[in-house]
Chains A and B, each alone.
Chain A
């Protein structure tokens, strides 16, 4: 179910500003890859190029190739809408749909895409909420508004919403940065379970988190403000945190800059 991502020579612009330049990497299926790097180096930008959300930003433009297994997401004739059904996303701030109940939030993707059987909907919602470790907390109030949950619960609701459409890849942009340590732990555990089924890419500013949850870690950096961000290195998480091959990575991880 999970798919491999193979990026080569990817450059992304905001109008005329080049935000990231010439990034190439491979992300293995059923693995967790963490992106780390100083603020503004283009982690979010790169993440959003992986499901064609970058072009939603006015002026957003991408050059290069992103292969999902053997299909180029930026090939001609590829519909971004279908790409996003395969590559789901969880955002930094929890953003449940305020007009919808908990149930409807999880069902939103299926309902709005019109690709479901009525009889299956209940099962899918339950399965997704269980998958997001939220089922026990909300099973008695599925019809209450989703915005009435706590921040951590809302974020898990958003994860449930994202996995309900059964994507192949799950992108997470600092999913825990608005959460307390307990909710963070819950989501980290969840990531560990989710990687059985999905390919996961997570952006984080928390080194311990990257070390805890990820199999591989990619370090991004930029030469100076106004310069495009670049991929410095990507390697097994253990190596990045014990013995990275680039000095800048070690400096960043040990807190000497950034």
Chain B
């Protein structure tokens, strides 16, 4: 052959064969089906196991199929994407399942009566009763803890960011770090031994609130510190250059600029201590009746109520435990929404 015909066979440079958009979905369904098949043959019962095998098959499958059709680089890209998806699902599934279990078990219990009555005179095996005393206790204890911890935490953070240099600042930072790691039961034991055993006060909501404040303070310091550091130095300088004293610069310029983030941080800390059980168990003691005075006598709180009702173990009390758990989650959720609202409302405005 002297003359070969020239075939217009140049492959395009930029576009290559692509998987259709629905391909990942098909691979996902296929790997799920395969995983169930394998599990049934092997006799594995656990649905968790099915899911994990399906996830693994999905990642391997995406790589294989993509490498075949689109090329290796796209395949790696696809693997990264599917890993992100798998991790997302692994994180979301327990969360959804937790929310679902609580709502489905608790929704039938929570009603106006449940929220407005205490356990006074209700026997363990009786139906009825409510969480009013526990809700009241939680609100009071958390409020007191916040009133103690938020200002101290805020001022500490202001000190660390705006004034602190040298040894003292480093020492404070170190102790805040240590405090962050204090287990809640230790905070409870500390207040127990100091406030109740040594100083001789009795169990009260206030004692619990002090332990909660100890737990809350480092969280407030840390988050406030981060928020204050985000305030550009130029704003401080602009204010100082107008002849505004430093303390006024901090209170009128720096803190207002960061107030949205600070509020969010405080609210997250509040959400964290709202669910604490151990210190409340040690210091507030638990009570079946309404005690509106946090400074005297035993109170209850929502997590403690859940713990105690669940411990009793009758059908009715377990129902009540779920109802209280739902109330607790809803309470924290509402706090978070409020915090977000405040943060958005107070955030520095841009926009023309």
Instruction: Provide the bound-state CA to CA distance between A149 and B350, in Å.
Output: 9
Bound-state Cα–Cα, A108 to B239, Å? 8
Instruction: Report the minimum CB–CB distance from A100 to chain B (whole Å).
Output: 9
- Provide the residues of chain A in CB contact with B352, threshold 8 Å: 144, 148-149
Q: Mark A40-72, 1 if CB is under 8 A from B, else 0.
A: 000000000001010010100000000000000
Segment 183-237 of A: residues with Cβ below 8 Å from B: none
Given A112-B252, A145-B348, A145-B350, the answer on whether A97 and B257 have CB atoms closer than 8 Å is yes
**9-residue interface stretch from A82-90, A124-132, A238-246, A249-257:** A82-90
Tally of contact residues, A, Cβ under 8 A: 31
Establish whether residues A148 and B351, one from each chain, have CB atoms under 8 Å apart when the complex forms: yes
Residues of chain B lying within 8 A (CB to CB) of residue A85: 242-243
A162 at the interface (CB under 8 A from B): yes
Minimum CB–CB distance from B50 to chain A (whole Å) comes to: 52
Known contacts being A145-B351, A147-B349, is A98 close to B244, with CB within 8 Å?
no
Cβ of B238 under 8 Å from chain A: yes
B351 A112 Cβ-Cβ under 8 A: no
Does A18 make an interface contact (CB < 8 A)? no
Majority DSSP secondary structure for residues of B touching A = helix
Interfacial chain B residues near A147, Cβ < 8 Å: 348-350
Q: Which residues of B contact A84 (CB under 8 A)?
A: 240-243
Size bin of chain B's contact surface: 20 to 34
Residue of B with least CB distance to A96: B238
Residue of B nearest to A164 (CB): B242
Most buried by A among B165, B243, B253, B257: B243
Q: When chains A and B are docked, how far (Å) is the Cα of A23 from the Cα of B273?
A: 59
Tell me, in angstroms, the Cα distance from A91 to B257 when the chains sit together.
Answer: 19
Instruction: Give the CA-CA distance A97 to B257 in the complex, in Å.
Output: 8
Closest A residue to B346 by beta carbon equals A99
Whole-angstrom distance from the CB of A16 to the nearest CB of chain B?
A: 16
Q: Is B182 in contact with chain A by the CB < 8 A criterion?
A: no
Q: How far is the CA of A41 from the CA of B351 in the complex (A)?
A: 38
Contact A81 B237 (CB under 8 A): no
CB neighbours of A3 from chain B (8 A) = none
Q: State the Cβ distance, A145 to closest chain B Cβ, in Å.
A: 4
Task: Report Cα–Cα, A30/B257, bound state, in Å.
Answer: 36
Contact with B along A147-172 (1 / 0, CB 8 A): 11100000000100110010000000
| Inter-subunit contact B242/A88 (CB<8 Å) | yes
Interchain CB contact under 8 A, B234 and A109:
no
Which of the residues A82, A99, A149 comes within 8 Å of B243, measured between beta carbons?
Answer: A82
Query: Given known contacts A112-B252, A145-B349, A148-B350, is B235 in contact with A95 (CB within 8 Å)?
Result: yes
**A contact residues around B349 at 8 Å (CB):** 98-99, 145, 147-148
Contacts of A51 in B (CB 8 A): 241
Among A81, A88, A99, A165, the residue within 8 A (CB) of B245 is: A81
Cβ B244 vs Cβ A113 within 8 A: yes
Would B348 and A109 count as touching, CB distance under 8 A?
no
The residue in chain A whose Cβ has the minimal distance to the Cβ of B255 is A99
User: Is B51 an interface residue when CB atoms closer than 8 A count as contact?
Assistant: no
With A56-B237, A112-B252 known as contacts, the answer to whether A99 contacts B242 (CB < 8 A) is: no
B235 touches A97 (CB 8 A): yes
B256 interface hit (Cβ, 8 Å): yes
Interface presence of B73 (CB below 8 A): no
The docked-state distance in angstroms from the alpha carbon of A58 to that of B161 is 13
Q: How far is the CA of A240 from the CA of B153 in the complex (A)?
A: 57
CB-CB under 8 A for A108 and B242, given A97-B253, A98-B235: yes
Give bound CA distance, A89 to B237, whole Å: 9
B241 touches A99 (CB 8 A): no
- In the assembled complex, the Cα of A165 lies from the Cα of B349 at a distance in Å of 25
Enumerate chain B residues within 8 angstroms of A161, measured Cβ to Cβ: 238, 242
**Residue in A closest to B256 when the chains form the complex, CB atoms:** A99
Query: Per a CB cutoff under 8 Å, which of A58, A93, A99 touches B257?
Result: A99
Distance, CA A85 to CA B244, complexed state (A): 8
Q: Which residues of B contact A149 (CB under 8 A)?
A: 352
Give the distance in Å from the alpha carbon of A144 to the alpha carbon of B350 in the complex.
Answer: 9
Closest residue to A171 on the B side, CB-wise? B241
Q: Are A165 and B242 in contact (CB under 8 A)?
A: yes
**From residue B170, how far is it (CB to closest CB) to chain A in Å?**
15
Chain B residues, Cβ within 8 Å of A81: 243-245
Q: State A148–B242 Cα separation when bound (angstroms).
A: 22
**Chain B: minimal CB distance from A96 (Å):** 8
Residues of B within 8 A of A88 (CB): 241-242
- Nearest chain-B residue to A145 (Cβ)? B349
Q: Out of B232, B241, B350, which one reaches A89, CB within 8 Å?
A: B241
Cβ contacts under 8 Å, B344 to chain A: none
> In this assembly, does B18 line the interface, its C-beta being within 8 Å of a C-beta of chain A?
no
* Residue from B238, B244, B349, B350 with most neighbouring chain A CB atoms (10 Å): B238
Residues of A whose CB lies within 8 Å of any CB of B are 51, 53, 56, 58, 81-86, 88-89, 91, 93, 95, 97-99, 108-109, 112-113, 144-145, 147-149, 158, 161-162, 165
Provide 5 A-B residue pairs closer than 8 Å at the C-beta atoms, listed in order of the A residue: A82-B243, A83-B243, A91-B237, A91-B238, A109-B243
Enumerate the 5 nearest inter-chain pairs by beta-carbon distance, A residue then B residue, closest first.
A85-B243, A98-B348, A109-B242, A89-B241, A84-B243
Sample of 15 further A-B pairs with CB below 8 A, known A86-B243, A95-B238, A112-B239: A56-B237, A81-B245, A82-B243, A84-B242, A85-B243, A91-B237, A95-B234, A97-B235, A97-B257, A98-B235, A112-B244, A112-B249, A113-B243, A158-B238, A162-B241
